[in-house]
Each structure stands twice: as structure tokens, then as C-alpha cells.
A and B are shown apart, each in its own frame.
Chain A
Amino acid sequence: MKSKMMMGVAFALSLFAGVVHSESSPKENADTLLAQLAQRSQQIQSLEGTFAQQKTIAVLPVPLSSNGRFSFEQGKEVVWETLMPVQSRLTLTPGGISFADAKGEQKTPAQAQQAGAEIVAKIFMGVIAGELDSLQDYFTLAATGTATDWQIRLVPRSANLSAYIASIELRGGEYTEHLDIAEANGDKTYIVFTTNKVVRKPAVQAKP
């Protein structure tokens, strides 16, 4: 059911895209920073941690809080498991998306929607795993700060995506620490990550 709901974003993406975005003033520093961060995240083999999420919904007086744990393995999968106040487990792989609720029921989206779900998976995997390249397909990225205290702002490239997502902000030092999603309807999601365990790839061509 939920995977179907995600299709909204997919729908936004699925329609023809907007104008090619050209960045008029290439800030070299920012680009270098982006490249640096991208390279660093690529060196991560796998990563595990916990998260705390706050969702502010326009008319509700209190934000909805939840927490859980997450893990990701480079190029393979992202697991997002909500523990409180409800239990659910979301698995995103390059091949698709699957979802299990508290009763452990597996749900995969219908065949026709598979392609759309993959896009959602790509965006979310991109955010969690720091796969900036794949995010570039959908957003224009602007980085500020330094390699140890950085901030990346993602703005949707197409008008269709921005009908749903106003912007996404990532902040972090060594790893991603904060994720801010501002939806077009005014709702906001704020996620704090705590990274516990990191496995790096054997250093093949570690640059200074």
C-alpha cells in the first residue's frame, strides 16, 4: 500500500522533464567540495546507524516523532526500519523496493509500478548513501562549507518534481548527520542520523 503511495513522487518524475538546468555561475569551490564528498561516500562499503525522525504536518499541533535504525551496503541495498511508534521495514535495492509491516507481510508494488518505485528507491538510496551522482539526475546540487562541516542543498530540476518536493537539505561532517525534506504542501521532515558502524572499501586509490 505504501509503496503505491510513494508512486506520487514517481508520477512527478515520470512525466516529461523540464528545461535542462544550467548553472550559470559554477562555483569552483562548491564543485570541488561536491566531488570530494562524492568520492568519500564511494569509499564506504557499508554503514549502520540509528535515526530519529520528526515530521511536521501543517495542521497538526505536535510534530510526529519516530525512530529506528538503518543500514546500507554500497550498491546493494538500503534497509530503513522504523521501530517506534510503529514497526515497519523498508528495503530498497537497485532492483526494486519491498516493504514489510509489523505482521511481517511482504508487499511489492505491481509490475507496472515497479519502474516508478525504482526512482523513489534511487532518490532515497542516493540521499542515505550519499550517491551524489544519481541525485544529480533529479536535482541540482549546491554544496557549501568544508569537508568536515558541509551542507548540500538539493533543488528539483523539473517542475513536476517540485510540485511535490520544495527542497532537500543534507548536512554532515564525516557522514550525513541531518536530512531536511521540505514538501511543497508545507509539511517538513527532519531526520537526525547517528552512524554506529562503518566498513570502508580497501583503499585502492586513496588520494590525499
Chain B
Amino acid sequence: MTQAATIVQEHKQLNRIYALVWLLVLCACAVFCAREVTTAKPFHSNLLELLPRDERNPALHDLSVLLASRFQDKLLVLVRSDDRPQGLAQAQDLQARLLASARLAPEQPGAGLQQELLVLYRPFSQQLLDTQTRQWLQNQSPAELAEQTYRELFNPVAAPRPFGFAEDPFNLGGRWLTGLASGFKMQEYQGFPLVEVEREGSAQSWLLVTAKLKDSPFDVDVQQDVTGAVQAFRQAWPEAQLLTSGMIFHAAAGTEQATNEINTVGLGSTIGIIALVLLVFRRITPLVAVMLTMTSAYILALTVSLLVFGRIHIITLAFGSTLLGVAGDYVLHFLVGSQREGSGLAARHHLRYAMAIGAITGMGAYLLQFATPFPGLQQMAIFCSAGIFGAWMTVLALAPYYKVTPATQHMPLIAAGKFFQVGQWFYRPLWRNRLWVGIALVGILVMAVLGIVRGGVNDAVINLNTSPKALLQSEQQVQQILQQASVSQFFYIEADSAEQLLVRTQQLNERLTELKQDGLRWQSIAQYLPSAAQQSADRQLVADKLYGEQDALTLLCEKLGTQCQAPLMSEQSLTPTALDASTFAELLPPMQPQGSGWRTLVTVSGEVYGAELAAVAKQVEGVALVNQTEDLSQLLGRYRTSVSELLALTLVLLAVGLALRYRHHSWRMLLPLMLAMTVALGCAAVDGITLFHVMALLLVIGIGLDTAVFYTEGGFTPESWLASSLACGTSILAFGLLSLSAVPVLHQFGLIILVGILGCWLLTPLFFRPAPAPEL
């Protein structure tokens, strides 16, 4: 007796130390989170960071990320200006509103560019020829060349001669620079770039307002400044027609949506859980326990995620809100158990295995997603499993201090009793008619399987999208009007050396020209930098045709009545390094060394003819047409297959594990789970099964298994029925709200888990018919 008292005393001390340590840990975590959130601003909405890296071709991945990143740090707004003065006033007002933010800077990609081009190309003006000029030199006699150049000298509006007569008598430099511009259709109107286009059968004119972001577009403050400025502008000019483009607008929309959803899911779950707890327990203490557990789960989840990743995507947070429901499970089981056992300590002892298995399977299910190559899912996995761990530890720490007085003990038991009656009323006829229930279940199973087979799979990239449709359309229109290069389709060229790369790129240029597609435009590095071999051949052509004895220059100067000297020719070539050093390079397709070779992209814009382009790519060695949308879709498909395999493996391991622990009871646990999963998949398969559906099934295992574990440990009793109903109810609430999400990924996760858990909740008791003589 005294020995037992000492043990109790020792336990008490241990409990106190444990609770104190845990409290300190949580406080430290809370301080860390608060500091991190206010100073480092770790929340972002960059979807690209959630996507897996294409491991097969890292060079291509780097180049395409570079291409996409140029679109990240600036914003473009087109202002319809068919009425010029009106449009101008609007553009000026919008620019002023945007630049009023300290986080935005004026963006002038072209200002001073012309000067820089002149400096860059000047030393090489006598060896840089575009195709037209080369043909001009090849096809005309020296006399004709002299005559035409002479006449040009009298044209009042012609011939800006960037390098002057002495240095470049035939204005090859002017021709070269002119050739570079042939792709641009931009004019200028009072300091604003102006585009005039024929669209939808009418002539439209648009003024371009641009700004550069000083911070990342995923910074919430920048987003607020930009959306605020645009909103204020729209209010001031309700009739103005705007088209927006830039990552910032998508990021802002993403933030808004995610914030809404965090609010809906978080608030909805919290209110639901509070209501359920109050309804069942009708006391404040259990509510405090629930809130404490959920808070500590969230704090731990946030701390661990911040420590592991540094930055957290907003979708992770939205998804993480469902954690509230899951964390609620643990504490609810415990609370119901405490009422039954009469004290928190006793309940902890009694439920220790059930809670451990529940927590470990839950964490395991989430952690399995950590093994996937999707950084986004890894975040969610770490976030949620840390949260579950937090909830578990909190319940263990809390237990000794949760007292149940006899007076209050009856209330939930009465509730449980009444609720049990409802459950019995519902399940009793079902237990009796096993055959019919069996047939009905088989029927449901067949329908679900049919649904899955009919729905097939869906690996569309649109599943990853988070932007509203209107925003995407606006983006597309801007791309059309400004003839911006497509970031999803382009040529990828590789070669052993920079020279070979330029030769191949030039060959591709020629093939594309031969296509003679008016709507097709492309931009390649070779248009701005001919290969060294080409430069040297052109230098020879120029020397022979223009500056030899009795050649064009001599004839020209005879006409001008003066003596001329041939200009100095460079002996070097313009190199990739020199081009890369100029800021002009930022506007060109990237060209990079990679390992022992070189890589570049050729971007296309305008009407894109996929089949023709693919055919062209095959004609030149080292060239491939890349379709990122298609590639990403294939990637999703591959991951869907491998996650499905992972799921199958998990189920097999689970079956083995359960068989070892629960022997002949294990089928009762596994069967309802499998049924619920199949039904969930069948419901979700309407638009085809996606990778995210399969991943959500992993979570269903984790959460759904808890239900079965509690029945297996205690049988179908008032407490287990109430506890499982409460736990499933909170999860159903959380994921049900998530399934309403407009973000496809969240919607798909939510739907599967909603149906899966609903299935587990309702189906599991069917397999736990109370034995006539309950085993105690």
C-alpha cells in the first residue's frame, strides 16, 4: 500500500515535470513562431515552389525557370486607349498610383538600351549582317551598292547612321540594328509604350503601364499595394478597360483565395468543434482542453515546418487547417474516455495504446507523402504530422490534470447513452440482415468500381492551377497583344560548344523562316549574335564587295567628290561573353554553359503551330521542341502511378501489421476502410482520378484506421460510438469545407477525405456487432 502510494507519488512528480517541460516547449515554439512570422514573413504563394523539379533534364529546368522568373518581378497593365487623351490620362493616373508604393519602382527595360546596343555592336559593325543585308551585298554589283547608298544620303527621313559615315559608310550598323527591331511592334505615346493591334475585327490601341517589384511577388505587402492601386484606379475610372499580366496578380489572387479558405476551413472547423464539445459535455473545461490541444498542435506544426522549410506556402496553411479536426480527434477520444473511467489519468492509462497507434498511423500516413517529390506535399506532410504529434503529447501532458467530478460525469454519459440508442436503432436491423447488407455493400462496391473505371485518370496541368479564370484570360490577351514569348512551349537546343550552339540555332532560324507562317514569331540568340564562323565569312564578304580596289566605296566617294578610306575592320568576333555582359542579354533567350556543353532556348510567340514546329525541330541536330504543359502532365501521370504503388504497399504492410496485432479481428478493421476508400475514389472519379486523389487516400487510411482501432479495443459501446462520431464529425466538417475549395488540389483532397471518412464512420460499426456476452 505504501509502495503503491510512493509509485503514485513518483508518477505525480514525473507527470508534473513532463507537463512543465511540455508547456515550456510550447511557449518557446509560440515565441519562435511569432518572431518568425513578424520578421521573416515566411508565408508565400509561389505555386512553382510546390511543383517537383524535372529530374530528367536539369539544364532545361534551369533555363525554363530563368525564363519564367523574368515574368516574376514586373507587372504589365495594358490600358485601352482608342481615345488617346483619355487613355493617356488613365495610364498616367495608374502609373502614379502604382509608383506611389515604396515597394514598386519605375520599370524602363528599353531606356538607355539603344545606347548600350550601339556600344555593344559598334566594334563589329562591318561583320554583322542580317540575311537581307547579306543578300543585298551578294546580289548587287559594287556600282549598284554605291548608287543606292548615295541616294539614301539625300533622303530626309531615312538613315539614322548610328556609327557615322567614316566608320560605316554603307550603314551596315544601321541595317543590323534595324533588323533586330523587326519583331517589335511597339510605338511610343507621351512616354508610354503604345501598341496598336487588329483584334476581334477592330483596331485597338493600348498603352502599356509597367512597374518593377522591389520585393518578391509573393510578399503579401507588395500584393496589397498592387491590388490596392489597381482597385482604387478602377473605382476612379469605372469605364477604363484594363488587361493585367505578371506573377504578382496571380500571387495576389492566390493569397486572397487561400486566406479565404483558411478562414472558412479554420473558422468552420473551430466553430463546429466548439459546438460539438458543448453539446456533448455541456461544460467549459473540456472545451478548454480541446482548444488547448488544437492550439498546441498548430503551434508545433508551424514551428517544425518553419524549421524544416524556412518558408511555408499558403496552400499548406489552408490544408493544415484540417489539422484542427484531426487534432480534435485525440482530445475527444480522451475526453470521452475520461468520463467513462472517472479521471483523466485512468483514461490515459486505458487508452495509451489506442492513442499511440492512432497518432503513429496518422503521422505515418502524412509522412508517406514526405517521400513524394512534390515539395508542396512534403510541407503538408511535415506540417500535419508535427501537429498530430503535438496533439498527442498535449493530451498525455494534460491527462493528470483533467478531473471529472461525479456530478458532471453523468452528463456526457447520458448524451453518449442517448446517442448510442440512435446508433443501435440504426445498426441493429443492419446487423440482423447480414445477407442484405452484404449484397448492398457489394452493390455499392461495384458501382464505385464502375465509376472509377469510367472516370479513368486525369493528369491535366490545370489541376495545379490556382488562378481565377478571368485572370488567366487577361494574361493570355496581354501575351497576344504584346506578342510575348510563350513560356510553356519553346525550342531547346544543346551543343558541345558555344559556337556549335550558335550554328544550330541559326539553322533553326532558317528552317523557321522557310515555314513562312505569318503569325509565327520567334526569338533566338543567333538573331543577336551570329556564330564566329558566320561573322568571319561576312567580314570577308564586306571587305571584298565594299572596300576592295575599284569597289563600292571607291565608286561612292567618286560620286561624293571626295577621297575616302575604308573603315577599320575588327579582327575579333562578338562573343557570347560580351553579349551576356550587357543588360540587353536580359531581354534575350538565355544561353548557358552546362557541364561540358552549351544550352539555349528559342522562344516562340503568336500563333503556334505545334506539329510544324515539332517537324522543324527534327530537322536540326540537337534541337527539341519542349511543351512544358505536356511534360508536366506526364510528370503528374508518373507520380500518380508511383503513389498508387505506394498506396498498395501501405495497405499490404497495414494488413500484415494488423494481422499480427489483432489476429482474426484484422479483417474487420481493413474491410470497412477499403470499402470507404473505394467509394471515395468512385465519387471523385467523375472528372478522372488525379495524383491528389490518390494521395488523399493515404490520409484516409490514417484517419479512418483510428475509428476501427477504437472499436477493436473497446467494441461498439456508447463511448466508442460517441468518440468515433465526434472525431469523424470534426474531420468531416474540416475536409467537407476543404472540398468546397476553388483550388483544384484542395478540392480533390477534401472530397476524397470527406467521403472516405464518412464511409469509415458509417461502415465500420457494421463489422463490430456487439457480442451477446460482452468481453470485459
Contacts and interface: CB of A to CB of B under 8 A. Distances in A.
Contact of B181 (A18, A64, A116): A116
A89 to B, nearest CB: 11
Interface of A: 1-21, 53, 55, 57-62, 64, 66, 80, 82, 85-86, 88, 90, 101, 110-113, 115-116, 118-120, 123-124, 136-138, 157-161, 163-165, 181, 183-187, 189, 191
A61 to B, nearest CB: 6
A191 to B, nearest CB: 7
Interface stretch (B182-190, B245-253, B524-532, B742-750): B182-190
Interface string B179-214: 011111111111111001000000000001010000
A contact patch SS = mixed
Contacts of B595: none
Interface string B144-159: 0000101111111111
B131 interface: no
A20 to B, nearest CB: 4
30 contacts: A1-B136, A1-B148, A1-B152, A5-B174, A6-B157, A8-B160, A11-B114, A11-B177, A15-B184, A15-B186, A16-B186, A17-B111, A19-B106, A20-B95, A20-B190, A55-B154, A59-B165, A60-B560, A62-B562, A85-B154, A111-B518, A112-B185, A115-B185, A124-B156, A136-B190, A160-B110, A163-B114, A164-B114, A181-B156, A184-B162
A13 B154 contact: no
A184 B189 CA distance: 22
B188 A17 contact: yes
A108 to B, nearest CB: 15
A66 B490 CA distance: 50
B222 to A, nearest CB: 22
B187 A159 contact: no
A187 B153 CA distance: 11
A4 B181 CA distance: 11
A183 B164 CA distance: 10
Nearest to A110: B182
B164 A16 contact: no
A2 B115 contact: no
Contacts, number: 197
Given A15-B114, A17-B188, A157-B191, A8 B155 contact: no
Given A58-B164, A183-B160, A185-B163, A16 B108 contact: yes
Contacts of A120: 157
Contacts of B165: 57-60, 187
Contacts of A113: 182
B110 A17 contact: yes
A15 B113 contact: yes
B772 interface: no
Contact of B164 (A85, A138, A185): A185
Given A2-B155, A137-B190, A12 B160 contact: yes
Interface string B556-568: 0000111010000
B113 to A, nearest CB: 6
Among all A-B residue pairs, the 5 with the closest Cβ atoms: A16-B110, A15-B110, A11-B181, A163-B114, A8-B160
